[in-house]
Structure 1
């Protein structure tokens, strides 16, 4: 069904969202047919897709503005690096693990890729990832336009005074232990309240 949807899009597909049983061949077909029109790619629980092949394919989506890779058990650092270099319009990135990751192990490879290749990023969600304070600092340094940051269940991050101060420029922040709505920093425009 996914292959047929891509074919029927006739090269005009601007958003492709998939959940479940999807493999690399569908993403490859999408890149062959709609590479110059795709703006949003969301892959949720598509466990047959691997980081290496997605990293190769994503370089064709130069107009991509939104990327989501959610509910996976692996890291997608190669995909993050490739997307950051090939997709200059990328504004929103969502990465989440399929389960809560072991907090004793640090995993800042994705964070380093984001911080070094995505300076135009406005919205970032890293849910249940193993990043540390150092990885978050790399993101904050490399993504100066970040407006929304969701790091819920990233339990390797310890929100100390220094990190709180660094995050104060981010308008909407969801911290590692947050469960409710986002916390808003900055000025409130009373005309919109």
Structure 2
């Protein structure tokens, strides 16, 4: 596969007039060699590849591609949610997050990972990804106290997913709202199994109402709330355009639709699977702003050098020798079989 990719770059080109590496097509037109593309341009291209190929195939094509993958260019958006759902060892998730966030050089704008295993890992994200705009950490084992400590470092977050994070509650929501002043999207979807020991979550609804006035998109599926709690949120979050109440059986959705005709309400009945496209709709920064690498001007390329095409990508002193980077087809592993939303009663 490496040879096939390499052949696309064409034959070895000759040097141009100003020392540039150029080649010549059959029709006489000049072209640049793949390895001469700017690192941030290659990063844009590699973003469209599956995680498996970025980690295991691209670094072995050539040294320049290996340097791009080893540096921050590919890790503006770290989306390993599907991979993390398939892992049975929490330490594997922790090590992958530390490696990729570390390689982003502090420029990561989005992190999507399921099941952060501990508070120290969340603190690591807060210390090393302060440019975050989107944070998606469903099913994570983080606590109220660590959120109160780390939230001030995540002030740029505009969209937050803390679904099925069972160890946090109103305190964490209030901390996120207090410090993430630009928060416009919140996903706090629970599973009925998560709530077997709870009577209600009105305190969480109150925290949302009091600390997140700029919300435009709110998902509260299966939370134990009543109509009064939702009305409190709507009274404070006046910009709200979409409200997901699937599984919130005690909420009078008919009353809400009559009182707020401009509000799109989904639920409480579960008729179908709603595919959220909020990330594409509400992202307010362009590729031009994402891929600016002024901070790389003083960094020597040797810091990201890969010794040879046969060496592993993770050559930064820590390595991933013991990290199992497994990829599966056909959905989740058996441990997640049956993890689905129940039908309407």
Instruction: Give the TM interval when normalised to the shorter protein.
Output: 0.7 to 0.9
Deviations 1:168-188 (CA, angstroms, capped at 9, x unpaired): 231x21021132377xxxxxx
Pairing of 1:30-179 with structure 2 (within 5 A): 30-35=125-130, 37-46=131-140, 48-99=141-192, 101=195, 105-159=199-253, 161=255, 163-170=256-263, 172-179=264-271
Paired with 2:265 and 2:257, the residues of 1 have a C-alpha distance of 10
Report the structure, 1 or 2, having the larger strand content. 1
What do the CA deviations read for 1:23-42 (whole angstroms, capped 9, x no partner)? 2111111111222x110111
**1:5 aligned counterpart, secondary structure:** helix
Output the CA distance in 2 between the equivalents of 1:34 and 1:73: 24
Greater Rg by CA: 2
Shift of 1:93: 0.2
- Are 1:25 and 2:117 counterparts? no
Q: Distance in 2 between matches of 1:30 and 1:120?
A: 24
Task: Supply the distance in 1 between the matched residues of 2:145 and 2:191 (Cα, whole angstroms).
Answer: 19
- CA gap of 1:21–1:86, structure 2 versus 1, over 3 A, is closer
- TM-score by length of structure 1 reads 0.83
Matched, 1:5 2:97: no
For the structure 1 residues 181 and 19, does the alpha-carbon distance in structure 2 shift closer, same or farther, using more than 3 Å as the test?
closer
> Matched residues in 2 for 1:55 and 1:105: separation?
24
Q: For residues 70-104 of structure 1, what are the alpha-carbon distances to aligned partners after superposition, in whole Å with 9 as ceiling and x for unaligned?
A: 123355211211111111111100002232546x9
**Structure 1 residue runs of 4 or more that deviate by more than 4 Å after TM superposition:** none
Question: Superposition RMSD on alpha carbons, in Å?
Answer: 2.1
Instruction: Give the conservation status (yes or no) of the 8 Å contact 1:84–1:118.
Output: yes
Partner Cα separation in structure 1 for residue 223 and residue 148 of structure 2:
19
> Does the 8 Å CA contact 1:70/1:95 hold for their aligned counterparts?
yes
What TM-score results when the alignment is normalised by the length of structure 2?
0.48
- The count of aligned residue pairs is 178
Q: Secondary structure at the match of 1:106?
A: coil
Greater helix share, structure number: 2
- Given that 1:72 and 1:96 are in contact with CA atoms closer than 8 Å, whether structure 2 keeps it comes out as no
Note the residue ranges of structure 2 that are not aligned, 5 or more in a row. Answer: 1-95, 275-345
**Would the alpha carbon gap of residues 49 and 75 (structure 1) be closer, same or farther in structure 2, given more than 3 Å must change?**
closer
Separation (CA, whole Å) in 2 of partners of 1:32 and 1:128? 32
